[in-house]
Structure 1
Amino acid sequence: MSAPQIIQWVLIAGICVTSVLSVYFSFKSRRAAGYRDKGAAAAKMNVSMGFMLLLIAFIQMFLFTASSIRVVVGAVFMLLGLFNIFAGLRSLSAFRGIKD
């Protein structure tokens, strides 16, 4: 296998892992009883979705032939991913500070 194929498989595996984590934290946040647990799980879901969007952006921008549409879509996914990570980490720190 060549280096781009290895990178592609690592990114695809990362997307699969982060999407499973997003679904897990989504179910966990909906089934949580307390306000703190519900918010912390939703924040972790945002972080997982942010990393998933970043990995999708990396695949779009670096592993295929460059076209302007592909670069724009990759940049949008990258910005959304970074925003989700930032918002999720900020929310997670806020919910960890709340006492039950």
Structure 2
Amino acid sequence: MVTTLHWLLLILILLTSVLSVTYSFKSRRSPDPRVRGLNAARTNICMGIMLVLIALFFMLAYSGSTIKVIFGALFIVLGLFNLFAGLRNHNVYRSMKS
């Protein structure tokens, strides 16, 4: 069961990493500021999810020492900040007129 969970987390981490890179390239190449902002917000959302998943994998894969728990908590906080900033920016850019 734990091995299946680790593999699932790894697959989700890879998926969000690929999506993050894809949206980042789309964001940098878009001439329209609205589309650029939407893709940048999607990049932040994917990076936030990826950081939370990395923290979960890190906390589940290894036995808990104080340093590992601190780094896991730090990744979760950083990931949640990216996720909420991306969601906020996505709502702002989505509501803009083209």
After TM superposition, the score normalised by the length of structure 1 is 0.96
- Displacement of 1:63 in angstroms is 2.3
* Unmatched tracts of structure 2, length 5 or more: none
Deviates more, 1:59-68 or 1:79-88: 59-68
Runs of 4+ in 1 over 2 A off after TM superposition: none
Out of 6, 17, 22, the position equivalent to 2:20 is 22
The aligned residue for residue 76 of structure 1 is 74
Report the AA paired with residue 97 of structure 2: K
- Displacement of 1:89 in angstroms is 0.3
The aligned residue for residue 88 of structure 1 is 86
Inter-partner Cα distance in structure 1 for 2:81 and 2:42: 13
Inter-partner Cα distance in structure 2 for 1:30 and 1:58: 30
- Secondary structure at 2:63's aligned position in 1? coil
Using the aligned pairs only, state the percent identity. Answer: 47
Matching of residues 1-100 of structure 1 within 5 Å: 3-100=1-98
Report the AA paired with residue 83 of structure 2: I
Report the AA paired with residue 86 of structure 2: G
- Displacement of 1:82 in angstroms is 0.4
After TM superposition, the score normalised by the length of structure 2 is 0.98
Task: Give per-residue Cα distances to partners, 1:45-88, cap 9 Å, x unaligned.
Answer: 00000000000000111221111111000000000000001000
Please give the root-mean-square deviation of Cα atoms over the aligned residues, in Å: 0.6
